[in-house]
Structure formats: C-alpha cells, structure tokens
Amino acid sequence: MDRYIHAPDPASCLAFLLRRLATMALLLLGCWLALWPDLARATPGGADITLQARHWTDPSGDLGIDEVVRRPVDDFVAMERYRSIQLETGVLWLRLDLPPRDAARRWYLMLSAAAFTNRATLYTANPSGTWTAQQAGDHLPVSQWAHPDQTPVFLLDPQAVGPVWLSLENQPASVSPRLIVLDERQLQEKRQWTFLMVGGYLGFGLLVLFIGWVHARLYADRAFIAYCCYVACMLGFQAAFTGVGGLFFWPDHAAWNDAAPPVFMFWLTASGIWFVREVCVVSRHHRGVDRFVLAWSVFGLLFPAVYLLLLNRPAFIVLNLYGLLSVLLSFGLCVWTWRRGETYAGWMALGFLPVHLAYPFPALRSAGLLPDSWATQYAVLIGSAIEIPLLLYILHRRAKDFNENRARLRAIESTDPLTGLTIAPVLHLRLRDALRRARRYGHRCGLVLVDLSNHTAILDREGREAGDRALVVAASRLSALVREVDTVCRTAETRFAVLVEGPEDLRLLGQHIVAKGLERVPLLPPDLTLRFRLVSASLPDEADGSPDDGRLMERLNHALDRLADDPRKVVLHLPQRA
C-alpha cells in the first residue's frame, strides 16, 4: 500500500512545478517593485513648464490659429495649478513661452501622461511669419504622428519666433495638460525606462496568463478560465492606457486606439465580476444574487458598443459609475460569501485589495477631479502587478484542496476505507480479464488468498484500535511484496486476495508473505506479530471446464477454511489440473 500512496502523480508533479514557477515570478516581481522608486528617480524628467502656460477655451472649437493669436492677451488665464478642464465640443488653447534652450541640442515638448488625448496640435511660427503644425492624438494613427511615441511629442524648432501655441481636443473625458520640455537624450532615456517597466509588466502578465491557462486545463475549473479572461483584459487595458498598444500593436488604427481604453475598461470590470462569481460560488448561496451578478457582467460585456455609438457625457458617467460600483460589488460579494462559509472568498477580498486601492487615482482623473500625474498613469499597473500573482496563488490553493477532496470521493468508490486497497468488485473485474487473457494468449497468472489468523487474538488483547492497525499494516506489507501491475484486495474482515500477473513462483511468494508478517509491528507489543495463512493457485485451471471468477474465489475460500483445521500448516498451493 505504501507504494501506491507515494507513487508520483503527473498532476501533482505539474502542480509542484507551477508552484515553483509562480514563486520565481513573485520573487522577480518583488525585485522589480523594490527597484521601481530608484528607477523612477533615475528617469530624467526634463523641465515642467505647465504652470508657465496661459490657457483659453474656445467653446465652439471652430477658430483657427490666426484667430486665436489675434485675441487679447487678457483672455488667456495663467495656469496657476495642475487642473482638469472639461471641454465637451470645445478646444483648449495654451500659450507657451519657452525657457532658454541650448541651440546645439534638439528639444522636444512632451504632453506627459496623455496617451488618450483625442487631438493635440502644436503651432510654431517661422521667421517668415507662416505657421508650422505638428499633430498627434487618438484621432490620428500613431504611425502618422509627427513623432510617434506613447504620448504626443513635438519637435521644438530652434528657428521658431515668439511663443508656441498648443491646442487640445478631448471628449467626453476632461483634458489635464502636463507639459515637459526635454532634449533628445532625455527623451530617449525616458522612452527606454518606460518601455522597460511596461514591457516587464506585460511579459510578467503573459507568464502568469500561461500558468493560469495550464491550471485551467489541469483542474478543469471555470474559475481559472474567468481568471485568464480577467488577466488578458487587464493586459489589454494597460497596453491601451499607457499608450504602448497604440505605438507597437495597432499603430495604423486610430479608431481602435481611441476606443481601446474604455472598451478594455468595461471588459476588465465585467470579467472581474464573473471571476468573483465563479470563485465565491454565488449560485450556491442565493439564486437571485447570482442572476444579478451574471447580468452585471453581461452588461459590461455588451455596453461598449452603446458607449462607442453615443460617445457623450452620460455614457462616460455610466463608464465611471460601472467601474466604481463594480469595485464595491466585488468586495461585497467576497465578504458576504466568506461569512457564509466560503473560505477562499475572504482571501479573494485581500487579493483584490491592491487594485481596489489603486483604482481611485485613474477614476478621479477621468472624473476631472485629479490632474494627470505619474500616479494616475501607473497606479493600477503597479496594483495589478501585485494582485495578479496573488489571485493565481489563491486559485491554486483552492483548486488543490477541491481536487484532493474529489480524489478522496472517487477513491472511496473503488477502495477499502480502512486499508486503502481495492474493493472486491474491482478484483473480480481484473481477475475476469486475467482469466480471459490466460485462456486466449496463454499468459500465466496466479491468485493468492491470505488470512490474518491471529486477528481475533489481537482484538482480545489490545482492543479494536490495535486490530485495525494490524489490518492496515497487513495490507501495506502485502502490497510491498508485489509489483504495481498486481492487485491486492481486502475480500473479508481478515482476508486479502492477491492477483499476480505473470509467471511468478507462488510457493516462494507464499513464503515471503509469511515471513513478512513475522516482522515486528510498530505500536504493538514485540510478541504480537502478523500470522498469515494462505492458499494459492496457478491460473488458468481447467479442472472444472471453464471456471469463472466467482467459482474460483469460492474454491480458494473453501480450501483456506479447511487449512484452518491444521494449525501447523500455514501455506497451501493448489495443484494445477488439466
């Protein structure tokens, strides 16, 4: 029996490998997060000139650069603080007086943390008085930007005369300008650090996504499928939100570049609610709540089509409310089901906590209550980098426990609860197959019936617990003497049957069984050993024509009963008769 208990299982080996892989991924993530502040400080920032700008909003959005320049200077208000401005159909104009710059270097103006601006146009005046326009934004394919990047970047012409003018269009979300002047070297280093951080996040996310899919195939659990959908939507949302997707994945598709952040936001939230529904098993606790949660997920899956069709302020408010209420709903479902006995629902609430704490930054920025900043751009990215592996580990522990319980239930149907051996119906099935092979192909096999003859004495002297322990030890020692292809079964209270496949010497096997029983039994007095009495027969035996398995077992049991009348004889091998 020990051989079967400790035999390596492919599923457990794969689970062990995945746990080690997940541990390595968590260690790499920890190193990455530990180095993030140093990397952020090492990133060159350039000169922030946002508060030096003066702004004016054109409510109609129809004025050109010539009309805007001729407006009185008093119409342009100083940008005294970082702020968000709601434009609707208007255009925000910024008048920028650039600081002195080294003419030997190329200088750029970056609209930082604004990968989702609809259109940004920079106007510079030549010495001849004509205007040069550079355009960027979601309504223009990234490949056609003046300088393709994850955010709008414009070249500052050293021959430009006077101030430069920047027009910004964005709806239905508010616009929050953050302007940085930096040279070519600083721009290149900023790109490298950004791509390193975002690329590392996406690579780590793909690794976790692969591990989750392997778990889904291994455990056949829908919770892992929902988890994979959630992680895939999270990666898509971060790629679109940071601007990396528009630069590398869909540079020629302006419409999708504009629609990707809200679409992935809806899908991310809907898949997260579905994921919580599967893990917390809401249907087990309340059918009405389960239907509501399912309808909530379906709404998030389908509403992006309505959002893109309307693309107005009310639809944008629905987007923000859906995200905020989904955070509250997911946390509430986890706590509610945890209080009703779902142990892993409580761990799920803790696993979602990093993203729930980071979500207010981009949400408040979308609502116009916070300006664009490093936190609004990367808070959810960092939170999800912590959350995703935590959720995978929680799911792994949950699936492992459930799989072990299912394995125990399946084992109860085909094994003896006390000894762990196969039950009699399984033995009869295998014996029938062995007899069929023996008659058809001439394969030899044997059947040994073993009785623990001193079990009654052990019960009388040491009690029921010692008697059960003796049966367990007997089963273990019988299993240790045979091969994995052989079958050991408990057929009665103290009797075991051993089906031996192949031309084994049954007499020698009988001697080994008797000798193995005489070894000392742990937790029993030294003078109490296992005294085996056995009967064996080589098969097939055609003495009765074509005996079936039932008649064969009856014959061996009858012989073993007669053997009990002679206490000096413990081994009997029935001769094979043709």
Residues whose CB is less than 8 angstroms from the CB of residue 466 and which lie 6 or more positions away in sequence, other chains included: 458, 459, 523, 524, 528
Share of the chain above pLDDT 90, in %: 55
Verify cis geometry, omega within 30 degrees of 0, for the bond prior to 172: yes
Identify whether 523 is part of a domain.
Answer: yes
Domain around 520: 424-574
**Residue 474, strand partner residues:** none
238 and 102 belong to one structural domain: no
Question: What average pLDDT is seen over the chain?
Answer: 86
Among 502, 505, 506, 507, which Cα is nearest to 486's? 502
CA distance 199 to 483: 53
CA distance 90 to 57: 7
Identify whether 419 is part of a domain.
Answer: no
The secondary structure of 492-521, three-state, reads CCCEEEEEEECCCCHHHHHHHHHHHHCCCC
Among 174, 169, 197, 166, which Cα is nearest to 39's? 197
255 and 291 belong to one structural domain: yes
Q: Which of 411, 439, 473 is the last residue of a domain?
A: 411
Query: What band does 24 get if pLDDT is binned at 50, 70 and 90?
Result: low
Identify whether 355 is part of a domain.
Answer: yes
Share of the chain above pLDDT 70, in %: 88
Query: What band does 4 get if pLDDT is binned at 50, 70 and 90?
Result: very low
Does the pLDDT value for residue 114 go beyond 70?
A: no
276 and 309 belong to one structural domain: yes
39 and 51 belong to one structural domain: no
The CATH number of whichever domain residue 234 belongs to comes to: 1.20.1070
The CATH number of whichever domain residue 138 belongs to comes to: 2.60.40.2380
Residue 239 structure tokens: 């790629």
Identify whether 416 is part of a domain.
Answer: no
Q: What is the mean pLDDT of residues 94-100?
A: 90
77 and 23 belong to one structural domain: no
User: For 87-96, 152-161, 287-296, 435-444, which range has the lowest pLDDT when averaged over its residues?
Assistant: 435-444
- Residue range 307-344, pLDDT digits in tens: 999 989 899 999 999 999 999 999 999 999 999 999 89
Residues in the chain, how many? 578
- Residue range 41-96, pLDDT digits in tens: 444 457 899 999 999 999 998 999 999 999 998 899 998 888 888 888 899 999 99
Identify whether 30 is part of a domain.
Answer: yes
Helix (H/G/I), strand (E/B), else coil: 281:
coil
Among 274, 363, 361, which Cα is nearest to 317's? 363
Identify whether 19 is part of a domain.
Answer: yes
Check: pTM over 0.85? Answer yes or no. Answer: no
202 and 137 belong to one structural domain: no
341 and 214 belong to one structural domain: yes
Identify whether 5 is part of a domain.
Answer: no
Among 210, 195, 192, which Cα is nearest to 25's? 210
Q: Which of 170, 186, 202 is the last residue of a domain?
A: 186
**What pLDDT is stored for residue 502 in this prediction?**
77
Residue 128 structure tokens: 């001849």
Say if CB 260 and CB 314 are below 8 A apart.
no
User: For 65-69, 79-83, 484-488, 524-528, which range has the lowest pLDDT when averaged over its residues?
Assistant: 524-528
537 and 502 belong to one structural domain: yes
Q: Which residue has the higher pLDDT, 250 or 504?
A: 250
431 and 567 belong to one structural domain: yes
Residue 323 structure tokens: 């995200």
CA distance 507 to 534: 10
396 and 266 belong to one structural domain: yes
Give me the number of domains the chain comprises: 3
Identify whether 102 is part of a domain.
Answer: yes
**What pLDDT is stored for residue 372 in this prediction?**
76
132 and 217 belong to one structural domain: no
- Residue range 533-546, pLDDT digits in tens: 999 998 876 544 44
Q: Which of 144, 167, 186 is the last residue of a domain?
A: 186
199 and 321 belong to one structural domain: yes
Say if CB 113 and CB 376 are below 8 A apart.
yes
**What pLDDT is stored for residue 542 in this prediction?**
55
The CATH number of whichever domain residue 555 belongs to comes to: 3.30.70.270
> Which residue type, as a one-letter code, is found at position 17?
L
Kindly give the pairing relationship between strand 571-574 and strand 532-539: parallel
